[in-house]
Chain A
């Protein structure tokens, strides 16, 4: 039964055209996935359905839901439908819940708004719904607050408040993007279960082909506000009529060509590294408890090698990065950079520090928005005693920008003038300018669209071949790590649980945690 039928939907906000001629259907008991890169209009399509559009939005076309055109009915009627017949799950579980209300109150609210039950009954429904989404009463009483839950648990609460009234349609906008792979697998399983049990339609919006490939019945691929290809998943993946579908598919599985050979000599050697965090004291005069974020970690990165570090959030990846960069002082252990030791409790000296540079996940947040690119890229020069000045400095900046595929005139622009991929290129240029030997890439491609990600991976591979760079590639995304690294380490609760040649680890994982990670990661090949 067709529950939702979108016909020739057009949307513009101000003068910008967002959606063009979008047509889409969703059936009860089925999952339809909308796939696209950022800015493709996939989220806006969802907001057109329940009419939660930003100000100044102009819509035309038809959104038939349950026999009503959502574009024609009043705001009052829409409020009656939202939450009752259409539930919605959002990308960011950390911020989608009101921090000052209990989870019980927030789930019960959905019931109360629609006058579906008395307050006591609403709380009962909230309890049952939370049980359904896997938050049992014993551990998750209604009085819990969002900040007491993990990301995955919060996403379950968001799902609970969306399905409390058993809506006919559930819209899930990137529901697992902010989550770890194992949590992602659990949430996807939960959504599938709910679709099966309630016979509701699920509109699943995602940028990740791998995520939807195994769960969706139908798929629509969007680019620049248009649906370029749609149909049953198997058929779309088998035929790939549109070139964009093929390009997207290729980019998702992209493996850059790499020729660099690892030398024996390590550029970075870490032995027995320990980093403790002091937690707030429990009693007024007691000894404050400690959290061992990095527990006796040893490894080395050889010259010209690309070493991967995978693990889920909270495993200590970032703490380890900070320790290596000398941003935090470690409690014990030894860090050797290019054969020279930095002992525990000491800062990394400048002359060693310049041999390592870092590229972070958020290419926008890691730049000062008020400086021009030339100044931003030249920043690491403060690590050099004889840093070039004037024209020489400018030339160095321009040369590095060209090296990462940018233009010399980009040096005079500000960071907001660039796209995400370009910003990440600039971040790489900033790392490259003082000719480091090791670059630490901390989730450096995680925020990028797949096609851009493929380009950046190619760039990294090419730079390493040409300049003999070593990489420490930190990511939660197993497919990316598999594509770009020679060896990989798996980290869990502050410890390295498995190390080995990348292909060997992926093909025959030894530690049960590595196995669990690899099983949970969505794989695209299965579909075809």
Chain B
């Protein structure tokens, strides 16, 4: 098991290096000079040259990559071309919104998906199963911006349980959580629908396995066999989906961030792209890649915890 974790860690490190090179190269290939763009079309060539010198665009590609990469390791992401403030601060402010939001949404999604997936699988073909299958179909199909506006209309404007948008910060934890509840729920709904369906089908596959019959022959009740034998065996596909969903939720919430006026990573990267603030784009993309790789690592480790057969392989 230790060996397995070590191997995964090595692969994590290599992926990060490969990803950073790829991101750096991709941003370099994009046409247009950041310095010229920042100074506007009327800037003199001298001014552009001076700026290039100042923000380090004149150095060799290798030096610039090396500075960028080692800087990130120290927590120094450089200075935003547009706002002239440290990128690290910009990102960390946004991350404190996006990360809790993603985790909150994932928590809600799992909380909804597990029970209904299990109920649907254990009562296959029943009215409950029908309702779960129909409901989750709807959950996947409803566009989330529309659902978000509906929720705002209903729960924020009509009944005023929640505020319609904005984020008060984490000075008061509960106020912060309250502000994130509605967006998290809106984000969670389609994810929960997908997860519940995956849970159901993974469980159904497991329920027909021979060892389920063995469990019943030992004297397990139907429910006991499901809880003690089927669930853990059905976890692999469910974990895969959870991992993918977390990565998606971290960056994919742009529309929801806009609707709820949340200062998250999604809107940061959107603005940065339109302003050609490449260093911000580079850093946020790298951060997201980092998140995806770490989540994959965690999922890999949980795979091995769930299934002993995977511990020996890589």
Q: Provided the pairs A99-B309, A100-B233, A100-B306 are in contact, do residues A84 and B219 lie with their beta carbons within 8 angstroms?
A: yes
Among A82, A96, A161, contact of B210 (Cβ-Cβ < 8 Å): A96
Q: Within the assembled complex, what's the spacing in Å between the Cα atoms of A83 and B214?
A: 9
A-B contact pairs, 23 of them (CB 8 A): A52-B216, A79-B221, A82-B217, A83-B217, A84-B219, A86-B217, A88-B217, A92-B210, A95-B209, A96-B211, A97-B211, A98-B211, A98-B214, A99-B307, A100-B232, A100-B308, A101-B229, A109-B220, A113-B218, A113-B224, A114-B219, A145-B308, A158-B214
Q: Provided the pairs A90-B210, A147-B309 are in contact, do residues A110 and B218 lie with their beta carbons within 8 angstroms?
A: yes
Shortest CB distance B148–A (Å): 39
Contact with A along B218-238 (1 / 0, CB 8 A): 111100100011001100000
Contact with A along B273-314 (1 / 0, CB 8 A): 000000000000000000000000000000000111100011
Q: Within the assembled complex, what's the spacing in Å between the Cα atoms of A95 and B233?
A: 13
Q: CB within 8 Å of A: which of B1-41?
A: 7
Q: Within the assembled complex, what's the spacing in Å between the Cα atoms of A360 and B229?
A: 34
Shortest CB distance A167–B (Å): 10
Q: Within the assembled complex, what's the spacing in Å between the Cα atoms of A75 and B229?
A: 19
Residue A491 is within 8 A (CB to CB) of chain B in the complex? no
Among A83, A90, A92, A100, contact of B219 (Cβ-Cβ < 8 Å): A83
Instruction: Write the residues of chain A forming the contact surface with B, with a CB cutoff of 8 angstroms.
Output: 50, 52, 75, 79-84, 86-88, 90, 92, 95-101, 109-110, 113-114, 145, 147, 158, 161-162, 280, 284
Contact A113 B233 (CB under 8 A): no
Contact B214 A82 (CB under 8 A): no
Q: For B214, B221, B306, B307, which residue has the most chain A Cβ atoms within 10 angstroms?
A: B214
Contact A82 B232 (CB under 8 A): no
Contact B218 A109 (CB under 8 A): yes
Residue B64 is within 8 A (CB to CB) of chain A in the complex? no
Shortest CB distance A388–B (Å): 43
Q: Within the assembled complex, what's the spacing in Å between the Cα atoms of A75 and B232?
A: 25
Closest to B10 in A: A284
Residue B99 is within 8 A (CB to CB) of chain A in the complex? no
Among B214, B216, B221, B232, contact of A161 (Cβ-Cβ < 8 Å): B214
Contact B217 A99 (CB under 8 A): no
Contact A87 B224 (CB under 8 A): no
Given contacts A52-B216, A82-B216, A280-B313, 5 further A-B contacts (CB under 8 A): A80-B219, A87-B217, A95-B211, A96-B214, A98-B229
Shortest CB distance B126–A (Å): 12
Contact residue range for chain B? 20 to 34
Q: Within the assembled complex, what's the spacing in Å between the Cα atoms of A158 and B215?
A: 11
Q: Within the assembled complex, what's the spacing in Å between the Cα atoms of A100 and B235?
A: 11
Q: Within the assembled complex, what's the spacing in Å between the Cα atoms of A34 and B217?
A: 19
Closest to B230 in A: A98
Among B218, B229, B306, B307, contact of A82 (Cβ-Cβ < 8 Å): B218
Closest to B311 in A: A145
Closest to B6 in A: A284
Residues of A within 8 A of B218 (CB): 82-83, 109-110, 113, 161-162
Contact B215 A50 (CB under 8 A): no
Contact B220 A79 (CB under 8 A): yes
Contact B214 A100 (CB under 8 A): no
Q: For B217, B220, B224, B313, which residue has the most chain A Cβ atoms within 10 angstroms?
A: B217
Contact A113 B219 (CB under 8 A): yes
Contact B233 A99 (CB under 8 A): yes
Contact B309 A113 (CB under 8 A): no
Q: Within the assembled complex, what's the spacing in Å between the Cα atoms of A81 and B221?
A: 12
Shortest CB distance B219–A (Å): 3
Shortest CB distance B122–A (Å): 13
Closest to B214 in A: A96
Contact A145 B309 (CB under 8 A): yes
Shortest CB distance A114–B (Å): 6
Shortest CB distance B3–A (Å): 9
Closest to A85 in B: B219
Residues of A within 8 A of B211 (CB): 95-99
Shortest CB distance A77–B (Å): 11
Q: Within the assembled complex, what's the spacing in Å between the Cα atoms of A162 and B219?
A: 10
Closest to B236 in A: A100
Q: Within the assembled complex, what's the spacing in Å between the Cα atoms of A162 and B215?
A: 10
Shortest CB distance A55–B (Å): 9
